[in-house]
């Protein structure tokens, strides 16, 4: 089954929120980037939380038949990237988030109102 990039990105944001991620942002980078349509950016307080968020996102998407193209980084290094094709999830430690500052780098991107989008696989 195929879902819209926005639905996948917002679902990832909801899963991160369920795992108590902080500063969750979904950016519509499609008009600015050739490689993806959405960035999901979230902060985990420590490596255990970052790993738990990543595992839960991967589990939810697997249940929907949405397999990642790749997973990069390690929570121990302060970041994990999940490439879903039309959406890319960036999970950061507070220090790595400040260092990479993707919101500034992609400052022209419109922010999606992810809380207003019903997550996939949540009784949908």
Q: Kindly state the average pLDDT of the residues 99-119.
A: 94
- 71-107 tens-digit pLDDT: 999 878 899 999 999 999 999 999 999 999 999 999 9
From edge to edge, which strands make up the β-sheet containing 87-92? 70-74, 79-83, 87-92, 38-43, 22-28, 110-111
| Number of other residues whose CB lies within 10 A of the CB of residue 62 | 11
Confidence of residue 124 (pLDDT cuts 50, 70, 90): very low
CA distance 59 to 75: 17
- 26-73 tens-digit pLDDT: 999 999 999 999 999 999 999 999 999 999 999 999 999 999 999 999
For residue 122, is pLDDT > 80?
Answer: no
CATH number for the domain harbouring residue 106: 3.30.460.10
Closest by CA to 38, choosing from 8, 81, 15, is 8
> Residue 109: what pLDDT?
96
CA distance 109 to 50: 24
Question: In which domain, by residue range, is 48 found?
Answer: 5-113
How many domains is the chain built from? 1
Q: Is residue 119 part of a domain?
A: no
H-type alpha helices, 19-123: 47-63, 94-100, 102-105
Q: Is residue 90 part of a domain?
A: yes
């Amino acid at each position: 089954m195929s879902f819209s990039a926005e639905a996948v990105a917002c679902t990832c944001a909801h899963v991160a929120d369920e795992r108590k991620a902080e500063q969750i942002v979904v950016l519509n980078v499609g008009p600015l980037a050739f490689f993806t349509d959405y960035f999901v950016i979230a902060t985990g307080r420590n490596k255990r939380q970052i790993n738990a968020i990543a595992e839960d996102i991967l589990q939810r998407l697997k249940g929907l038949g949405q397999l990642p193209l790749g997973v990069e980084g390690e929570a121990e290094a302060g970041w994990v990237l999940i490439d879903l094709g039309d959406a890319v999830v960036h999970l950061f430690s507070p220090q790595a988030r400040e260092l990479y500052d993707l919101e500034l780098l992609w400052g022209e991107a419109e922010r999606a109102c992810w809380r207003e989008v019903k997550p996939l696989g949540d009784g949908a």
